[in-house]
Amino acid sequence: DAGVIQSPRHEVTEMGQEVTLRCKPISGHDYLFWYRQTMMRGLELLIYFNNNVPIDDSGMPEDRFSAKMPNASFSTLKIQPSEPRDSAVYFCASTLMANTGELFFGEGSRLTVL
Amino acid sequence: DAKTTQPNSMESNEEEPVHLPCNHSTISGTDYIHWYRQLPSQGPEYVIHGLTSNVNNRMASLAIAEDRKSSTLILHRATLRDAAVYYCILRARETSGSRLTFGEGTQLTVNP
């Protein structure tokens, strides 16, 4: 299995631009998570989905952030408009409901907003 | 989520055992203890988890205190590749789909 696949791995953009991060979870997994990691705040859970339905988006920082999961094999995290404080590494992770503990993380998307 | 306390950093020598402690004095009876690690420039990686009994797998061992208020992750022979940030996390059993809250973790340095 290829694992959780994220794209792009690196993105540099200017303030005000729209950013879209993509994630392909492991086939058959029914939970998908978006995390953000910064030096100041560590790893934060932004939102998670179960069977493509958003369950908890309380970690989404503000309305500029949105996430979708149109099908079981694809999710996007969108920032519009982006700001320098959004610079971080964004991780996607997936797991199976029956799984008692193992989250599988992607390699992350490093976002720099100038 | 109940809180865990870990040392900010630890050092070890290559090929020696490493004991990474974690305190979780407010753990509830149904909380699982999870350990993840994050190598440089990578996403977190599952290491091991347990509830009450000690656990072993190919990566490590997890020793859980009898009162469950602390646990220790044991790497039996550290290698340079084990240098990473190690996170001790509590997950409520009723929490859906392994929703995990990460703390600051312990930065492990392995000296050659």
For residue B96, pLDDT over 60 is answered with no
Of the candidates A85, A95, A67, A74, the one whose C-alpha atom is nearest the C-alpha of residue B46 is: A95
Q: Is B55 on the interface with A (CB under 8 A)?
A: no
Q: Is B1 on the interface with A (CB under 8 A)?
A: no
Q: Is the dihedral of CA B30, A101, A48, B42 positive or negative?
A: positive
In DSSP terms, B12 is beta-bridged to: B110
Test B98 with A107 for CB contact under 8 angstroms: no
Q: What are the φ/ψ torsions at residue B25 (nearest 5 degrees)?
A: -70, -20
* Strand positions, DSSP E, A4-96: 5-7, 10-13, 19-24, 31-38, 42-50, 53-56, 65-71, 74-79, 88-95
Low-confidence ranges of chain A (pLDDT < 70): 1, 98-101
Q: Give percent of chain B above pLDDT 90.
A: 77
User: How does the average pLDDT of chain B come out, rounded?
Assistant: 91
Q: Give the Cα separation of A40 and B31 in Å (integer).
A: 27
Taking residues B64-77, what's their average pLDDT? 96
| Contact indicator for B103, A42 with CB cutoff of 8 Å | yes
Q: Is A31 on the interface with B (CB under 8 A)?
A: yes
Q: Is A104 on the interface with B (CB under 8 A)?
A: yes
Chain B residue with CA closest to A96: the answer is: B97
Test B96 with A100 for CB contact under 8 angstroms: no
Give the pLDDT of residue B92. 79
Test A91 with B43 for CB contact under 8 angstroms: yes
Distance set, CA A62 to CA A59, A65, A84, A113 (Å): 9, 6, 14, 17
Enter the tokens of residue A4: 């959780």
Q: How many CB atoms lie within 10 A of CB A96?
A: 15
Give the pLDDT of residue A2. 81
Distance set, CA B65 to CA A101, B27, B82, B86 (Å): 20, 12, 24, 19
